[in-house]
Amino acid sequence: MKRARKENLIKRLFCLFSLFSIVFLLGIVIVLFKEGLPIFKVTSFGKFFFGKFWYPTYEPPDFGILPLLLGSLWVTAGALIIAVPLGVASAVYISEVAHPKIKGLIKPAIELLAGVPSVVYGFFGMVVVAPLVQKFFGLPVGLNALTASILLGVMAIPTITSISEDAISSVPKSFKEASYALGANRWETTVKVTVPSAAGGISTAIILGMGRAIGETMTVLMVAGGAAVIPRSFFQPVRTMTATIAAEMGETVVGSEHFHALFAIALVLFVLTLSLNIGADVLTQKFRKRLR
Amino acid sequence: MVKLVHSPYPSGHRQSIVHNETNIRISIRDLNIWYASARAVKDVSLDIEKNKVTAIIGPSGCGKSTLIRAVNRMNDIIPGVKVKGEILLDGKNIYDEDIDVVTIRKMVGMVFQRSNPFPKSIFENVAYGLKINGFPGKKKLAERIEQSLKDAALWDEVKDRLGDSALDLSGGQQQRLCIARALAVEPEVVLFDEPCSALDPVATARIEELIQELKEKYTIVIVTHNMQQAARISDFCTFLMLGELIEFDKTDKIFTTPSKKVTEDYITGRFG
């Protein structure tokens, strides 16, 4: 009897611990809505999302987040252009081609990339990548969308590689055997059977990599250049939603319109990353079902 | 192609069996296969006749699968496998250094234990082998796919839904699809590695019936642990135990008057 009660107590305790993160999430959502929504009393939905100007401190202020939204999407797209080929190719190499010894070297190295603090990436970007980009393309400034994309791309590679690699190595051996038995060589088998069979998992990896890039703050704050204008090329400075919040939150008056506008941006970011995560989850489920 | 006239077997586990020499498609000569240091196949020699079904039977772990996989060099993809001896396909040793393994696998098709269609459409599954061996053109491709599916007795069931995923088919249909996929590249020999072990009796009967039809066009080798199946469908039968060839003869002889006591014990179910 006593033992059963003790076990029950422990069970409840652990349940409480695991509820903790849900409570936290709920708290964040509630605060985002509570502090973000009031901005729509001041500005309309359309003006907020499609307004071309973000001048929160002007009189009267402009709260158009289009430049910031596009800035985020712009650098994220750039990052994916870099990270998807590199990340997926690394995954294919690690799981299908590399000798175990080389695999043992490359895999931890890529995973270590994920452990580098983003401020270090930002610092590296300012000191090394930006001057290189500036010199190579002959630009007036090195802090621009391209530099941000390169760094975000490198930061997204570990996510894309490790999830893709899981997906590729979980393709049943029987598929490969069938392919070999039909006279395919290793390359044909990898490209035409193994990778397509892992397509669901690879898409999940790309979506999560995208989430990683879109939510990144410190690096883009340091290297993207910070101009809140609608991006037209990769060589111009841009400002993302995350960088805007980070840069301006400290200077606003709590409860002001600007304050609420920043929360509304956070809300947009939250919805964006949440849908990416849900999308990734749906794909993963579909993928599992397909391979049984 | 050069037909080799075989000199008398080397000493060892030779079985006296009268083959019509000109009808021999595959000759296995003193074959030994090791996984790392464990010898899975020991000094096996046997001849496989054209347009006949040759069954390989024996208890689990006796080297049946290893032996059959040696015939299209599928063991090559397993690290640490060592092969000694010869397998002559139409007189040419497939383990010779100048042999292209891709050519061998095109000539010797294989159907596996568990049906393993690719997660692609029915059409794409059958087209796969044709496409990697050089795209024959759209019309020709469609014809070959239809013919292969007909040969595998699957056409009538799938002709209206070739675009559907192969994974939506039943287990038996999937296995017949795998057979069609193997036939599409026009092999001369088809290896079946326990093709019915995951199927129900009805689906099994269909595959057995199909194998009977296929031997008109192809040479067939089948591994099975189902002795009744071997008795029903094969012309020749090989009994393997612990990697050694115990007895090889015409199937009716093996199942009625086996020459070895241990063969009799196995087929009468005293062990295995």
pLDDT of residue B181: 94
- Which helix H or strand E contains B230, and what residues bound it? helix B227-233
3-state secondary structure of B225: coil
Determine the residue of chain B that is closest to A186 in CA distance.
B77
User: Do A30 and A131 reside in the same domain of the chain?
Assistant: no
Tell me, what's the pLDDT at B90?
Answer: 87
- Which amino acid, A167? A
Inter-chain residue contact A181 with B109, CB threshold 8 Å: yes
Asked if A180 and B106 come within 8 Å (Cβ–Cβ), the reply is no
Residue with tokens 């020749």: B236
Distance of CA B232 to the CA centre of its chain: 16
Q: How many domains does chain A have?
A: 2
Kindly state whether residues A27 and A96 are assigned to the same domain. no
B127 to chain A, any CB pair closer than 8 A? The answer is: no
Give the minimum alpha-carbon distance from B208 to chain A in angstroms, rounded to a whole number: 21
Residues 6+ apart with CB under 8 A from B123: B145, B162, B163
Q: Is B204 on the interface with A (CB under 8 A)?
A: no
Q: Contact at 8 Å (CB) between A77 and A213?
A: no
Q: Cα–Cα distances in Å, from A78 out to A127, A154, B166? A: 20, 11, 37
Do residues A29 and A51 share a domain? no
> Options 3.20.20.70, 3.40.50.410, 3.40.50.300, 3.40.630.30; which CATH number does B51-75+101-267 get?
3.40.50.300
Question: In this structure, are A187 and A267 located in the same domain?
Answer: yes
Binned average pLDDT, 10 residues per bin, chain B of 272 residues: 43 52 86 90 93 92 90 89 91 90 92 91 93 84 93 92 92 93 93 91 91 93 92 94 92 91 88 72
Do residue A108 and residue A166 come from a single domain?
yes
- Residue A109 sits in the same domain as residue A135: yes
Q: Which two tokens stand for residue B227?
A: 């002795």
B63 touching A (Cβ < 8 Å) = no
Amino acid occupying residue A140 = P
Contact B128 A177 (CB under 8 A): no
State whether A183 and B182 contact (CB < 8 Å). Answer: no
Assess whether A111 and A6 both reside in one domain: no
Q: Which residue of B has its CA nearest to A191?
A: B132
DSSP 3-state helix, strand, coil percentages of chain A (rounded to 5)? 80, 0, 20
Q: Are residues A177 and A235 in the same domain?
A: yes
Chain B, residues 215-234, CB within 8 A of chain A, namely none
Of B114, B128, B167, the CB nearest to A182: B128
Q: What is the pLDDT of residue A2?
A: 80
Considering only CB atoms, which chain B residues are within 8 Å of A184? 102, 128-129, 132
Query: Which residues make Cβ contacts (< 8 Å) with residue A13, sequence separation at least 6?
Result: none
Q: What is the CATH number of the domain that holds A217?
A: 1.10.3720.10
Chain A interface, mutation test: which of B69, B72, B74, B102, most A Cβ atoms within 10 Å? B102
pTM: 0.81
Which residues does chain B have within 8 Å of residue A193's beta carbon, measured at their own beta carbons?
118, 128
Is the CB of residue B198 less than 8 Å away from at least one CB of chain A? no
Per-residue pLDDT of chain A in tens (292 residues, 90 and over written 9): 688 899 999 999 999 999 999 999 999 999 999 999 999 998 998 999 999 999 988 888 899 999 999 999 999 999 999 999 999 999 999 999 998 899 999 999 999 999 999 999 999 999 999 999 999 999 998 999 999 999 999 999 999 999 999 999 999 999 999 999 999 989 999 999 999 999 989 999 999 999 999 999 999 999 999 888 999 999 999 999 999 999 999 989 998 999 999 999 999 999 999 999 998 888 888 776 655 4
In this structure, are A15 and A92 located in the same domain? Answer: no
Please judge whether B118 and A172 are an interchain contact, meaning their C-beta atoms are less than 8 angstroms apart.
no
Q: Please indicate whether, in this complex, the C-beta atoms of B109 and A193 are within 8 angstroms of each other.
A: no
Nearest residue of chain A to residue B108 (CA atoms)? A181
* Gap from B22 CA to chain A (nearest CA, Å): 27
On the CB side of B50, CA atoms within 13 Å amount to: 12
pLDDT of the residue at B2:
43
What three-state secondary structure class fits A75? helix
Same domain flag for A28 and A162 = no
Nearest CA in chain A to B129: A182
Q: Domain residue spans in chain B?
A: 51-75+101-267
Structure tokens at A20: 């903790």
Which ipTM was obtained for this model? 0.86
Residues pairing with B42 in the sheet: B244
Q: Are residues A67 and A123 in the same domain?
A: yes
Asked whether residue A16 falls in the same domain as residue A94, the answer is: no
Domain, as residue range, for A197: 45-291
- Residue B242 has which token pair? 């612990």
Identify the pLDDT of residue B19.
65
Place of tokens 């032996």: B67
Structure tokens at B233: 């469908």
Residue B119: asked if its preceding bond is cis (omega within 30°), the reply is no
Is the CB of A193 less than 8 angstroms away from the CB of B132?
no
Q: Which residues of A touch B133 (CB under 8 A)?
A: 183
